[in-house]
Amino acid sequence: PVAVPCLCLIVITVEELDHVLRDRSHIDETLRLATEEKAADYVAAIQKLRKIYHSSIKPMEQAYKYNELRQHEISDGEITSKPMVLFLGPWSVGKSSMINYLLGLQDSPYQLYTGAEPTTSEFTVIMHGEKIRSVEGIVMAADSSRSFSPLEKFGQNFLEKLIGIEMPHKLLERVTFVDTPGIIENRKQQERGYPFNDVCQWFIDRADLIFVVFDPTKLDVGLELEMLFRQLKGRESQIRIILNKADNLATQDLMRVYGALFWSLAPLINVTEPPRVYVSSFWPYDYAPDTSRELFKREEISLLEDLNQVIENRMENKIAFIRQHAIRVRIHALLVDRYVQTFKEKMSFFSDPELVFQEIVDDPDKFYIFKSILAKTNVSKFDLPNRDAYRDFFGINPIASFKPLASQCSYIGGCLLEKIEKAITNELPGLLSSINSGKQPGLSSCEITGCGEKPKNRYRKN
């Protein structure tokens, strides 16, 4: 007599659970996961991009030690990597639940752990693999074929807080998700045991889409969140604000919370056009009754379309990223060349080399270092790096270790400056055009047969 009610209770509970689970079919439809990609064209474009980078950009990087200025070395793993979607925000706002929902991981052994308390203490990278398995951070950093090998510079304490999860999934064939520890304002960064802000900056610099997640109970902005938004400066086009758990509020309260969120974030985002804000509830279960279900569903589909746009434009974004990197390398080389020329002009037989160069580094405007670059080249003043960065750069790298650009030429290899300018103005835009027109990128006739043209050196005095 006692067992029958218990059995009925269990049946009712399962039926109720099935009832509240949300339909996920719109995710596959919006992200077009059923359609097959043109893998051959994509691989050909990636190989062409790698060739341009290694032949035209990397030699200039190495010659003028650009990586010691920007601390951003581009590896083959980064060129071939999938688009990265980064989740940031306060603790327990639903970042991990959102990933579980997008990938359909709820109630599976590999779902990300969620809860009302701070639950995610690691940086978790969810990526595609042939089988479901977890990968230790030390292994990820040691594998040069991945894009995470540069993370080794943040120390072993951080690598113990880095974990990868591989699984076969259609969405993960096209994108990689990164879940981050929630921001806790009453905890000092030093207590984490690794440079949290520096690690966040590394992921921010490489993310194609950045979801900053809030919920109605965590709208206040503290020091750590303020620091995070400072790190996001310059990446406003990649930022999407998410007001999660919106179905916990009545419509009138939701409008007030929406206004409070903008009021909190307004001082932190100094752009004329505010970032897109999505208001919904991103988790596997149905919306709460008597809430704006249709609005939340439309907002969710808009977010999925945003994500799909990043996936479809991944090759274009990668080419644009490499081109932007090449422009910065070229500007750096022109500046170092100008420092070298100025140093040689000011040196005399009785001069002290250290004192002469220290004067140039301390006051570059006195010697028109930056102004001459603007006057003689097509460099924008907004692209020029910080002057103070070169004081530190030359503190580590003696001026005597650099050659002028005019001497960076060889008959076989050509001139470094002309090669990188050709990549910026011709090769990378040409590759982008071939992607947009649907043509498979191939080698030009000069690359196949060799044009045999002697390289011209515009910096050599006649």
- Rounded to whole angstroms, the Cα distance separating 242 from 365 reads 45
Q: Which CA distances in Å does 211 have to 85, 96, 172, 301, 433?
A: 7, 12, 17, 15, 30
Residues paired with residue 409 on neighbouring β-strands, in sequence order: 415
**DSSP per residue over 7-32, as a string?**
HHHHHHHHHHHHHHBPP-HHHHHHHT
Instruction: Look at residue 333 in the predicted model and tell me its pLDDT.
Output: 94
pTM (2 d.p.) = 0.80
Instruction: Look at residue 41 in the predicted model and tell me its pLDDT.
Output: 79
Q: Which helix (H) or strand (E) holds 164?
A: strand 162-167
Tokens of 295: 């609005």
Q: Which of 295, 326, 302, 290 is nearest to 424 (CA)?
A: 326
- Rounded to whole angstroms, the Cα distance separating 445 from 439 reads 16
Tokens of 431: 């590759």
Instruction: Look at residue 241 in the predicted model and tell me its pLDDT.
Output: 94
Phi-psi map region of 104: left, alpha, beta (phi>0 left; psi -120 to 50 alpha) = left
- Ranges of beta strands (E only) in 171-227 are 176-179, 209-214
The torsion angles phi and psi of 397, rounded to 5 degrees, stand at -110, 110
Tens-digit pLDDT string for the chain (462 aa): 444 444 343 343 434 434 577 888 999 999 998 887 666 778 899 999 999 999 999 999 999 999 888 777 788 888 989 999 999 999 889 899 999 999 998 877 778 877 655 555 889 999 999 999 999 999 999 987 788 988 999 999 999 999 999 999 999 999 999 999 988 766 554 467 889 889 999 999 899 999 999 998 877 777 888 888 889 988 888 999 999 999 998 889 999 998 888 888 888 877 777 789 999 999 988 898 888 899 999 999 999 999 999 999 999 999 999 999 999 999 999 999 999 999 999 888 888 888 989 999 999 989 899 998 888 787 888 888 888 889 899 989 999 999 999 999 988 888 999 999 999 999 999 999 988 776 455 544 344 334 444 444 433 444
Residues paired with residue 210 on neighbouring β-strands, in sequence order: 86, 239
Domains and CATH numbers, the chain: 35-80+314-437 (1.10.268.20), 82-291 (3.40.50.300)
Q: What is the maximum span of the chain, computed from C-alpha positions, in angstroms? A: 108
Tokens of 27: 């995710």
